[in-house]
Protein backbone atom coordinates (compact mmCIF):
# COMPACT_ATOMS: atom_id res chain seq x y z
CA UNK A 1 0.00 0.00 0.00
CA UNK A 2 1.72 3.11 -1.30
CA UNK A 3 -0.40 5.82 0.41
CA UNK A 4 -1.32 6.07 4.06
CA UNK A 5 -4.91 4.92 4.57
CA UNK A 6 -6.92 6.31 7.49
CA UNK A 7 -9.55 4.07 9.09
CA UNK A 8 -12.09 5.38 11.59
CA UNK A 9 -14.46 3.81 14.08
CA UNK A 10 -16.51 4.73 17.14
CA UNK A 11 -16.95 2.53 20.22
CA UNK A 12 -19.60 2.86 22.91
CA UNK A 13 -18.96 2.98 26.67
CA UNK A 14 -18.71 -0.82 26.81
CA UNK A 15 -16.08 -0.97 24.03
CA UNK A 16 -18.57 -2.31 21.49
CA UNK A 17 -18.19 -1.20 17.87
CA UNK A 18 -20.91 1.39 17.26
CA UNK A 19 -19.94 2.45 13.74
CA UNK A 20 -16.96 2.17 11.39
CA UNK A 21 -15.91 2.99 7.85
CA UNK A 22 -15.94 0.22 5.30
CA UNK A 23 -12.23 -0.71 5.57
CA UNK A 24 -12.20 -0.82 9.37
CA UNK A 25 -15.43 -2.85 9.36
CA UNK A 26 -13.97 -5.32 6.83
CA UNK A 27 -10.80 -5.88 8.91
CA UNK A 28 -12.90 -6.27 12.06
CA UNK A 29 -15.25 -8.71 10.31
CA UNK A 30 -12.33 -10.86 9.11
CA UNK A 31 -11.11 -11.00 12.73
CA UNK A 32 -14.52 -12.40 13.76
CA UNK A 33 -16.24 -9.20 14.90
CA UNK A 34 -19.27 -7.18 13.84
CA UNK A 35 -20.99 -3.89 14.55
CA UNK A 36 -22.65 -4.05 17.95
CA UNK A 37 -20.08 -6.49 19.38
CA UNK A 38 -16.69 -5.99 21.03
CA UNK A 39 -13.87 -4.96 18.69
CA UNK A 40 -12.29 -8.18 17.44
CA UNK A 41 -8.77 -6.85 16.75
CA UNK A 42 -7.02 -7.25 20.14
CA UNK A 43 -4.57 -4.35 19.68
CA UNK A 44 -7.37 -1.90 18.83
CA UNK A 45 -9.49 -3.11 21.74
CA UNK A 46 -6.61 -2.82 24.23
CA UNK A 47 -5.83 0.78 23.25
CA UNK A 48 -9.50 1.76 23.41
CA UNK A 49 -9.81 0.33 26.93
CA UNK A 50 -6.65 2.12 28.05
CA UNK A 51 -7.76 5.48 26.64
CA UNK A 52 -11.20 5.15 28.27
CA UNK A 53 -9.73 4.14 31.63
CA UNK A 54 -7.14 6.94 31.70
CA UNK A 55 -9.40 9.54 30.15
CA UNK A 56 -6.69 10.78 27.76
CA UNK A 57 -5.86 10.17 24.07
CA UNK A 58 -3.45 7.28 23.49
CA UNK A 59 -1.33 6.87 20.33
CA UNK A 60 0.78 3.84 19.56
CA UNK A 61 2.32 1.83 16.72
CA UNK A 62 0.96 -1.71 16.44
CA UNK A 63 1.12 -4.58 13.96
CA UNK A 64 -2.00 -6.62 13.27
CA UNK A 65 -2.52 -9.83 11.35
CA UNK A 66 -5.07 -9.63 8.52
CA UNK A 67 -5.28 -12.88 6.61
CA UNK A 68 -2.05 -13.50 4.73
CA UNK A 69 -0.58 -10.06 5.44
CA UNK A 70 0.63 -8.10 8.47
CA UNK A 71 -0.43 -4.46 8.71
CA UNK A 72 1.79 -1.91 10.47
CA UNK A 73 -0.52 0.73 11.91
CA UNK A 74 -0.46 3.92 13.91
CA UNK A 75 -3.51 3.96 16.18
CA UNK A 76 -5.01 6.91 18.03
CA UNK A 77 -7.68 6.19 20.63
CA UNK A 78 -9.44 9.30 21.96
CA UNK A 79 -12.03 9.14 24.77
CA UNK A 80 -15.41 10.71 24.05
CA UNK A 81 -18.43 11.40 26.23
CA UNK A 82 -20.08 8.07 25.41
CA UNK A 83 -17.16 5.93 24.30
CA UNK A 84 -13.92 6.06 22.31
CA UNK A 85 -13.06 7.25 18.80
CA UNK A 86 -10.43 5.26 16.89
CA UNK A 87 -8.32 6.56 14.01
CA UNK A 88 -6.03 3.99 12.41
CA UNK A 89 -3.31 4.92 9.90
CA UNK A 90 -2.29 1.92 7.78
CA UNK A 91 1.40 2.62 7.23
CA UNK A 92 2.66 -0.57 5.58
CA UNK A 93 1.47 -3.95 4.36
CA UNK A 94 3.83 -6.93 4.28
CA UNK A 95 3.64 -10.71 4.03
CA UNK A 96 2.55 -12.36 7.26
CA UNK A 97 5.26 -13.66 9.56
CA UNK A 98 5.82 -17.37 9.28
CA UNK A 99 7.81 -19.46 11.71
CA UNK A 100 11.06 -20.68 10.15
CA UNK A 101 11.29 -24.30 9.25
CA UNK A 102 12.39 -26.27 12.26
CA UNK A 103 15.89 -27.64 12.25
CA UNK A 104 16.19 -31.38 11.90
CA UNK A 105 15.80 -33.33 15.11
CA UNK A 106 19.08 -34.64 16.49
CA UNK A 107 18.91 -38.03 18.22
CA UNK A 108 20.81 -38.41 21.51
CA UNK A 109 23.91 -40.62 21.63
CA UNK A 110 22.80 -44.28 21.58
CA UNK A 111 22.97 -46.24 24.81
CA UNK A 112 22.96 -43.23 27.15
CA UNK A 113 21.53 -43.77 30.64
CA UNK A 114 19.92 -40.33 30.45
CA UNK A 115 20.09 -37.35 28.13
CA UNK A 116 20.25 -33.58 28.21
CA UNK A 117 20.40 -30.64 25.81
CA UNK A 118 22.39 -27.40 26.01
CA UNK A 119 22.45 -24.20 23.98
CA UNK A 120 25.44 -22.63 22.23
CA UNK A 121 26.71 -21.28 25.57
CA UNK A 122 26.48 -24.70 27.27
CA UNK A 123 23.44 -23.69 29.34
CA UNK A 124 20.97 -26.49 29.99
CA UNK A 125 17.79 -26.28 27.92
CA UNK A 126 16.28 -29.73 28.59
CA UNK A 127 16.53 -32.55 31.09
CA UNK A 128 13.64 -34.89 31.80
CA UNK A 129 12.45 -34.51 35.43
CA UNK A 130 12.61 -38.27 35.96
CA UNK A 131 16.24 -38.33 34.76
CA UNK A 132 17.17 -35.56 37.16
CA UNK A 133 15.46 -37.34 40.05
CA UNK A 134 17.26 -40.59 39.22
CA UNK A 135 20.60 -38.74 39.10
CA UNK A 136 19.97 -36.93 42.38
CA UNK A 137 19.10 -33.36 41.36
CA UNK A 138 16.07 -31.22 40.50
CA UNK A 139 15.86 -30.94 36.71
CA UNK A 140 13.84 -27.69 36.87
CA UNK A 141 16.59 -26.04 38.92
CA UNK A 142 19.18 -27.13 36.35
CA UNK A 143 17.45 -25.36 33.47
CA UNK A 144 19.40 -22.34 32.16
CA UNK A 145 22.35 -23.20 34.42
CA UNK A 146 25.78 -23.92 32.93
CA UNK A 147 26.37 -27.60 32.22
CA UNK A 148 29.41 -27.34 34.48
CA UNK A 149 27.04 -26.86 37.43
CA UNK A 150 25.83 -30.41 36.83
CA UNK A 151 29.18 -31.96 35.89
CA UNK A 152 32.77 -31.27 36.91
CA UNK A 153 34.56 -31.77 33.59
CA UNK A 154 37.97 -33.47 33.60
CA UNK A 155 40.71 -33.96 31.00
CA UNK A 156 40.79 -37.32 29.24
CA UNK A 157 43.83 -39.62 29.17
CA UNK A 158 45.56 -37.37 26.61
CA UNK A 159 44.94 -34.22 28.63
CA UNK A 160 42.25 -32.96 26.24
CA UNK A 161 38.74 -31.78 27.09
CA UNK A 162 36.62 -33.38 24.33
CA UNK A 163 33.48 -31.31 25.03
CA UNK A 164 35.33 -27.97 24.88
CA UNK A 165 37.23 -29.01 21.77
CA UNK A 166 33.95 -30.01 20.11
CA UNK A 167 32.34 -26.72 21.08
CA UNK A 168 35.18 -24.72 19.57
CA UNK A 169 35.15 -26.81 16.38
CA UNK A 170 31.33 -27.26 16.15
CA UNK A 171 31.41 -31.07 15.97
CA UNK A 172 30.14 -34.15 17.83
CA UNK A 173 32.14 -35.50 20.77
CA UNK A 174 32.40 -38.51 23.07
CA UNK A 175 34.66 -39.76 25.85
CA UNK A 176 34.39 -36.64 28.05
CA UNK A 177 35.19 -37.71 31.65
CA UNK A 178 33.18 -35.92 34.32
CA UNK A 179 31.86 -36.20 37.86
CA UNK A 180 28.16 -35.68 38.56
CA UNK A 181 28.20 -33.04 41.30
CA UNK A 182 24.92 -34.19 42.90
CA UNK A 183 26.30 -37.54 44.10
CA UNK A 184 30.01 -37.64 43.12
CA UNK A 185 29.37 -40.35 40.51
CA UNK A 186 31.96 -40.74 37.76
CA UNK A 187 30.38 -40.56 34.30
CA UNK A 188 31.29 -40.21 30.64
CA UNK A 189 29.59 -37.65 28.41
CA UNK A 190 28.94 -37.66 24.67
CA UNK A 191 27.05 -35.22 22.49
CA UNK A 192 25.78 -34.52 18.99
CA UNK A 193 25.81 -31.01 17.52
CA UNK A 194 22.50 -29.20 17.19
CA UNK A 195 22.04 -26.50 14.53
CA UNK A 196 19.28 -23.92 14.21
CA UNK A 197 17.12 -23.37 11.14
CA UNK A 198 19.79 -21.10 9.68
CA UNK A 199 22.51 -23.73 10.02
CA UNK A 200 24.31 -22.05 12.94
CA UNK A 201 25.68 -23.92 15.95
CA UNK A 202 22.93 -24.19 18.59
CA UNK A 203 24.44 -26.49 21.22
CA UNK A 204 24.49 -30.23 21.87
CA UNK A 205 22.11 -33.11 22.44
CA UNK A 206 24.08 -35.04 25.01
CA UNK A 207 24.08 -38.36 26.80
CA UNK A 208 25.41 -39.51 30.15
CA UNK A 209 27.07 -42.93 30.48
CA UNK A 210 28.01 -44.73 33.70
CA UNK A 211 31.65 -45.03 34.71
CA UNK A 212 33.38 -46.10 37.89
CA UNK A 213 32.14 -44.49 41.11
CA UNK A 214 34.25 -42.37 43.39
CA UNK A 215 33.89 -42.22 47.14
CA UNK A 216 30.69 -40.28 47.81
CA UNK A 217 32.16 -38.56 50.82
CA UNK A 218 35.14 -37.18 48.90
CA UNK A 219 35.19 -33.38 49.24
CA UNK A 220 34.39 -31.26 46.21
CA UNK A 221 37.79 -29.60 46.45
CA UNK A 222 37.40 -27.49 43.36
CA UNK A 223 34.70 -25.42 45.03
CA UNK A 224 35.33 -25.80 48.76
CA UNK A 225 31.57 -25.58 49.36
CA UNK A 226 29.23 -27.96 51.12
CA UNK A 227 26.50 -29.75 49.22
CA UNK A 228 23.97 -28.09 51.53
CA UNK A 229 25.21 -24.64 50.54
CA UNK A 230 24.95 -25.52 46.84
CA UNK A 231 21.42 -26.85 47.42
CA UNK A 232 20.36 -23.61 49.12
CA UNK A 233 21.80 -21.55 46.27
CA UNK A 234 19.98 -23.69 43.71
CA UNK A 235 16.69 -23.44 45.57
CA UNK A 236 16.81 -19.73 46.39
CA UNK A 237 18.67 -18.21 43.44
CA UNK A 238 19.75 -20.38 40.53
CA UNK A 239 16.42 -22.14 40.13
CA UNK A 240 14.19 -19.04 40.07
CA UNK A 241 16.67 -17.12 37.93
CA UNK A 242 16.98 -20.04 35.53
CA UNK A 243 13.21 -20.16 35.07
CA UNK A 244 13.08 -16.39 34.48
CA UNK A 245 15.82 -16.66 31.83
CA UNK A 246 14.18 -19.65 30.15
CA UNK A 247 10.77 -17.92 29.98
CA UNK A 248 12.27 -14.65 28.75
CA UNK A 249 14.23 -16.49 26.04
CA UNK A 250 11.01 -18.23 24.99
CA UNK A 251 9.23 -14.88 24.65
CA UNK A 252 12.17 -13.37 22.79
CA UNK A 253 12.26 -16.31 20.37
CA UNK A 254 8.53 -15.93 19.66
CA UNK A 255 7.87 -19.56 20.49
CA UNK A 256 4.20 -18.77 21.16
CA UNK A 257 3.86 -16.65 18.03
CA UNK A 258 5.04 -13.22 16.82
CA UNK A 259 5.08 -10.26 19.21
CA UNK A 260 5.66 -6.54 18.90
CA UNK A 261 9.40 -5.83 18.66
CA UNK A 262 9.25 -3.76 21.86
CA UNK A 263 8.11 -6.79 23.86
CA UNK A 264 10.74 -9.10 22.38
CA UNK A 265 13.40 -6.47 23.18
CA UNK A 266 12.14 -6.30 26.78
CA UNK A 267 12.32 -10.10 26.99
CA UNK A 268 15.91 -10.06 25.69
CA UNK A 269 16.83 -7.48 28.34
CA UNK A 270 15.23 -9.63 31.07
CA UNK A 271 17.11 -12.73 29.89
CA UNK A 272 20.40 -10.79 29.78
CA UNK A 273 19.85 -9.44 33.30
CA UNK A 274 18.99 -12.93 34.54
CA UNK A 275 22.17 -14.39 33.09
CA UNK A 276 24.14 -11.55 34.68
CA UNK A 277 22.66 -12.45 38.08
CA UNK A 278 23.37 -16.16 37.58
CA UNK A 279 26.96 -15.21 36.70
CA UNK A 280 27.14 -13.14 39.89
CA UNK A 281 25.98 -16.14 41.94
CA UNK A 282 28.67 -18.27 40.29
CA UNK A 283 31.28 -15.59 41.04
CA UNK A 284 30.21 -15.48 44.70
CA UNK A 285 30.59 -19.26 44.90
CA UNK A 286 34.11 -19.02 43.47
CA UNK A 287 34.95 -16.16 45.82
CA UNK A 288 33.83 -18.16 48.86
CA UNK A 289 35.98 -21.07 47.70
CA UNK A 290 39.21 -19.18 47.04
CA UNK A 291 39.04 -17.29 50.34
CA UNK A 292 39.03 -20.49 52.40
CA UNK A 293 42.23 -21.24 54.27
CA UNK A 294 42.31 -24.78 52.86
CA UNK A 295 41.81 -23.78 49.21
CA UNK A 296 44.40 -25.32 46.87
CA UNK A 297 44.71 -26.02 43.17
CA UNK A 298 46.02 -28.97 41.19
CA UNK A 299 49.57 -28.90 39.81
CA UNK A 300 48.99 -30.41 36.37
CA UNK A 301 51.24 -30.38 33.33
CA UNK A 302 49.30 -28.16 30.92
CA UNK A 303 49.88 -26.55 27.54
CA UNK A 304 49.15 -22.83 27.89
CA UNK A 305 48.95 -22.45 24.10
CA UNK A 306 46.26 -25.12 23.92
CA UNK A 307 44.28 -23.42 26.69
CA UNK A 308 44.56 -20.04 24.93
CA UNK A 309 43.14 -21.59 21.76
CA UNK A 310 40.30 -23.24 23.69
CA UNK A 311 39.38 -20.02 25.49
CA UNK A 312 39.43 -18.08 22.21
CA UNK A 313 37.22 -20.73 20.61
CA UNK A 314 34.67 -20.50 23.42
CA UNK A 315 34.41 -16.73 22.85
CA UNK A 316 34.46 -16.76 19.05
CA UNK A 317 30.70 -16.31 18.67
CA UNK A 318 30.54 -13.43 21.15
CA UNK A 319 33.49 -11.74 19.43
CA UNK A 320 31.84 -12.08 16.01
CA UNK A 321 28.60 -10.61 17.38
CA UNK A 322 30.57 -7.64 18.76
CA UNK A 323 32.52 -7.14 15.51
CA UNK A 324 35.81 -7.97 17.25
CA UNK A 325 38.60 -10.19 15.87
CA UNK A 326 40.57 -12.51 18.16
CA UNK A 327 44.08 -12.97 16.78
CA UNK A 328 45.52 -16.23 18.13
CA UNK A 329 48.15 -16.69 15.42
CA UNK A 330 50.93 -16.73 18.05
CA UNK A 331 49.37 -19.65 19.94
CA UNK A 332 50.45 -22.41 17.56
CA UNK A 333 53.60 -23.56 19.38
CA UNK A 334 53.22 -25.61 22.59
CA UNK A 335 53.95 -23.71 25.81
CA UNK A 336 54.27 -26.20 28.72
CA UNK A 337 53.25 -24.88 32.12
CA UNK A 338 52.26 -26.08 35.58
CA UNK A 339 48.77 -25.25 36.83
CA UNK A 340 45.24 -26.57 37.14
CA UNK A 341 43.66 -27.12 33.72
CA UNK A 342 40.14 -25.94 34.58
CA UNK A 343 41.21 -22.94 36.66
CA UNK A 344 43.68 -21.74 34.01
CA UNK A 345 40.97 -21.98 31.36
CA UNK A 346 38.65 -20.01 33.67
CA UNK A 347 41.21 -17.21 33.97
CA UNK A 348 41.82 -17.02 30.21
CA UNK A 349 38.09 -17.01 29.40
CA UNK A 350 37.66 -14.13 31.83
CA UNK A 351 40.54 -12.11 30.34
CA UNK A 352 39.57 -12.68 26.70
CA UNK A 353 35.88 -12.12 27.49
CA UNK A 354 36.69 -8.76 29.12
CA UNK A 355 38.84 -7.76 26.14
CA UNK A 356 36.01 -8.57 23.73
CA UNK A 357 33.43 -6.77 25.88
CA UNK A 358 35.39 -3.52 26.14
CA UNK A 359 36.77 -3.40 22.58
CA UNK A 360 35.08 -1.19 19.97
CA UNK A 361 33.64 -2.75 16.80
CA UNK A 362 36.34 -3.44 14.24
CA UNK A 363 39.00 -3.88 16.93
CA UNK A 364 41.38 -6.81 17.42
CA UNK A 365 42.22 -8.72 20.59
CA UNK A 366 45.75 -10.16 20.42
CA UNK A 367 46.85 -13.29 22.27
CA UNK A 368 50.60 -13.69 22.93
CA UNK A 369 52.69 -16.37 24.63
CA UNK A 370 56.32 -16.22 25.72
CA UNK A 371 58.86 -17.88 28.00
CA UNK A 372 60.42 -15.75 30.75
CA UNK A 373 63.05 -17.75 32.65
CA UNK A 374 61.26 -20.26 34.88
CA UNK A 375 57.88 -18.72 33.96
CA UNK A 376 55.57 -18.85 30.97
CA UNK A 377 53.49 -15.79 30.19
CA UNK A 378 50.11 -15.42 28.45
CA UNK A 379 49.21 -11.90 27.33
CA UNK A 380 45.73 -10.71 26.29
CA UNK A 381 45.94 -7.27 24.63
CA UNK A 382 42.97 -5.20 23.50
CA UNK A 383 42.25 -1.88 21.78
CA UNK A 384 39.85 -0.56 24.40
CA UNK A 385 40.00 2.84 26.05
CA UNK A 386 42.65 1.72 28.54
CA UNK A 387 42.97 1.91 32.32
CA UNK A 388 44.50 4.81 34.24
CA UNK A 389 47.48 4.02 36.47
CA UNK A 390 45.55 4.97 39.61
CA UNK A 391 42.84 2.42 38.72
CA UNK A 392 45.12 -0.51 37.87
CA UNK A 393 45.44 -1.83 41.43
CA UNK A 394 41.77 -1.20 42.21
CA UNK A 395 40.38 -3.40 39.41
CA UNK A 396 41.80 -6.50 41.14
CA UNK A 397 39.82 -5.78 44.31
CA UNK A 398 36.40 -7.25 45.12
CA UNK A 399 33.43 -5.62 43.36
CA UNK A 400 35.63 -2.97 41.73
CA UNK A 401 35.30 -1.79 38.13
CA UNK A 402 36.93 1.11 36.30
CA UNK A 403 33.58 2.64 35.29
CA UNK A 404 30.63 1.25 37.28
CA UNK A 405 28.21 3.01 34.91
CA UNK A 406 29.26 0.76 32.01
CA UNK A 407 27.58 -2.52 31.32
CA UNK A 408 29.77 -5.38 32.43
CA UNK A 409 30.36 -8.08 34.99
CA UNK A 410 30.10 -8.27 38.76
CA UNK A 411 33.46 -6.73 39.60
CA UNK A 412 34.65 -10.11 40.87
CA UNK A 413 36.14 -11.66 37.74
CA UNK A 414 39.62 -10.12 37.98
CA UNK A 415 39.74 -10.54 41.76
CA UNK A 416 39.02 -14.26 41.37
CA UNK A 417 41.38 -14.61 38.39
CA UNK A 418 44.33 -13.09 40.28
CA UNK A 419 43.61 -15.22 43.38
CA UNK A 420 43.56 -18.35 41.21
CA UNK A 421 46.76 -17.37 39.40
CA UNK A 422 48.58 -16.85 42.70
CA UNK A 423 47.18 -20.10 44.13
CA UNK A 424 48.86 -21.86 41.17
CA UNK A 425 52.19 -20.20 41.91
CA UNK A 426 51.79 -17.50 39.26
CA UNK A 427 50.38 -13.97 39.04
CA UNK A 428 48.08 -11.72 37.04
CA UNK A 429 49.01 -8.12 36.28
CA UNK A 430 47.94 -5.32 33.92
CA UNK A 431 49.86 -2.87 31.75
CA UNK A 432 47.76 -0.02 30.36
CA UNK A 433 47.30 3.69 29.82
CA UNK A 434 44.24 5.77 28.86
CA UNK A 435 43.60 5.58 25.13
CA UNK A 436 46.21 2.83 24.65
CA UNK A 437 44.19 -0.33 25.36
CA UNK A 438 45.15 -2.83 28.05
CA UNK A 439 47.51 -5.84 28.33
CA UNK A 440 46.62 -8.43 30.97
CA UNK A 441 49.56 -10.69 31.76
CA UNK A 442 49.11 -14.16 33.28
CA UNK A 443 52.29 -15.89 34.44
CA UNK A 444 52.59 -19.50 35.59
CA UNK A 445 55.50 -21.79 36.47
CA UNK A 446 57.05 -23.24 33.31
CA UNK A 447 56.63 -26.92 32.59
CA UNK A 448 58.96 -29.47 31.04
CA UNK A 449 59.35 -29.42 27.28
The confidence score (pLDDT) of residue 250 equals 67
Q: Taking 50 as the threshold, does the pLDDT of residue 216 lie above it?
A: no
Last residue of a domain, one of 95, 128, 151: 95
Residues 176 and 249 in one domain: no
Burial of 247 (0-12, 13-18, 19+ CB in 10 A): middle
Percent of the chain with pLDDT over 90: 28
**Domain identity same for 244 and 192:** no
Q: Give 220's pLDDT tier (boundaries 50, 70, 90).
A: very low
Alpha-helical runs (H) found in 31-178:
42-54, 129-135, 139-142, 162-169
Cβ(127)–Cβ(108) under 8 Å? no
Domain carrying residue 11? 5-95
Q: Are residues 412 and 361 in the same domain?
A: yes
DSSP alpha helices (H): ranges in 181-303?
227-233, 239-252, 261-290
CATH for 148: 3.30.450.20
Phi and psi, residue 440, nearest 5°: -95, 130
CA dihedral (249, 251, 253, 259) in degrees, to 10, reads -160
- Residue 405's pLDDT is 54
* Half-sphere exposure in the Cβ direction for 337 (13 Å, CA): 31
pLDDT value, residue 66 = 81
CATH assignment of the domain containing 397? 3.30.565.10
Backbone torsions φ then ψ of 190, nearest 5 degrees: -140, 160
Residue 252 lies in a domain: yes
What is residue 108's predicted lDDT score, i.e. its pLDDT? 84
Give CA–CA dist 314/367, Å, rounded.
14
**pLDDT at position 248 over 80:** no
**One domain, residues 239 and 260:** yes
- Count CA within 13 A, CB hemisphere, residue 333: 9
Q: Is residue 66 one of the residues assigned to a domain? A: yes
Q: Are residues 427 and 323 in the same domain?
A: yes
- Are 426 and 312 members of one domain? yes
Based on C-alpha coordinates, what's the Rg of the chain?
Answer: 28
Question: Higher-confidence residue: 104 or 434?
Answer: 434
Whether residue 142 is found in the same domain as residue 239:
no
Residue 441 burial (C-beta neighbours within 10 Å; 0-12, 13-18, 19+):
buried
Same domain, 149 and 242: no
Is 290 within a domain?
no
- CB contact at 8 A, 95 and 68: yes
Specify if 106 maps to a domain: no
The more confident residue out of 431 and 154 is 431
Q: Which residues face 191 on adjacent strands?
A: 173, 206
State which of 172, 190, 218 marks the end of a domain: 218
pLDDT over threshold 50, residue 245: yes
Local confidence band at 252 (pLDDT 50, 70, 90 cut-offs)? low
Strand ranges, E, within 96-132: 114-118, 124-126
Please check the confidence at residue 352 and state whether its pLDDT lies above 90: yes
Co-location of 309 and 426 in the same domain: yes
Both 192 and 229 in one domain: the answer is no
Q: Is the pTM of this model over 0.85?
A: no
What is the average pLDDT across 335-363? 91
If asked whether residues 119 and 89 sit together in one domain, one would say: no
User: Average pLDDT in the 242-253 region?
Assistant: 69
| Partners of residue 69 on adjacent β-strands | 66, 95
- What are the residues whose beta carbons fall under 8 Å from the beta carbon of 438, sequence distance 6 or more? 355, 358, 381, 382, 384, 386, 387, 430, 431, 432
Confidence class for position 365, pLDDT limits 50, 70, 90: very high
Average pLDDT over residues 22-32: 91
Q: Give yes or no for a contact between 352 and 365, defined as CB atoms under 8 angstroms apart.
A: yes
Specify if 80 maps to a domain. yes
Q: Is residue 27 part of a domain?
A: yes
Is residue 285 situated within a structural domain?
no
Under a CB-based contact definition with an 8 Å cutoff, are residues 203 and 317 in contact? no
Do 329 and 423 fall into the same domain? yes
Of 89-93, 157-161, 294-298, give the lowest mean pLDDT range: 157-161
What tens digit of pLDDT does each residue of 34-81 get? 999 999 898 898 889 888 888 888 888 888 888 778 888 889 999 998
Q: Pinpoint the alpha helices (H) of 31-95.
A: 42-54
Q: Based on the structure, what is the number of domains in the chain?
A: 4
User: Under 8 Å CB-to-CB from 409, ≥6 apart: which residues?
Assistant: 276, 279, 283, 354, 401
Structural domain includes residue 214: yes
Residue that is last in its domain, among 229, 245, 280: 280
Kindly state the percentage of the chain with pLDDT values over 70: 78
Amino acid sequence: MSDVVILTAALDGDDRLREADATFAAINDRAGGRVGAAVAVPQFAALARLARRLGIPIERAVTIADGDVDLDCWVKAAPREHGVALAVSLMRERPAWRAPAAAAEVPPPPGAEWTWEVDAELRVTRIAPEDGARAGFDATVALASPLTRLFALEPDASGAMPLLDAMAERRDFDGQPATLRANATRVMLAGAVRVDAGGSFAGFVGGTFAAEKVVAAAPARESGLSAAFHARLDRMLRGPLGRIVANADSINAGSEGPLDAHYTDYAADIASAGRHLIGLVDDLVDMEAIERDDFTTERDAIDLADLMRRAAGLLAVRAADNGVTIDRSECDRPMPAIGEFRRTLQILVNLIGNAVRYSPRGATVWLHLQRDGDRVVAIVADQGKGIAIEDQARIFEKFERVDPSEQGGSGLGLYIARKLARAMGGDLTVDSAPGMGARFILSLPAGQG
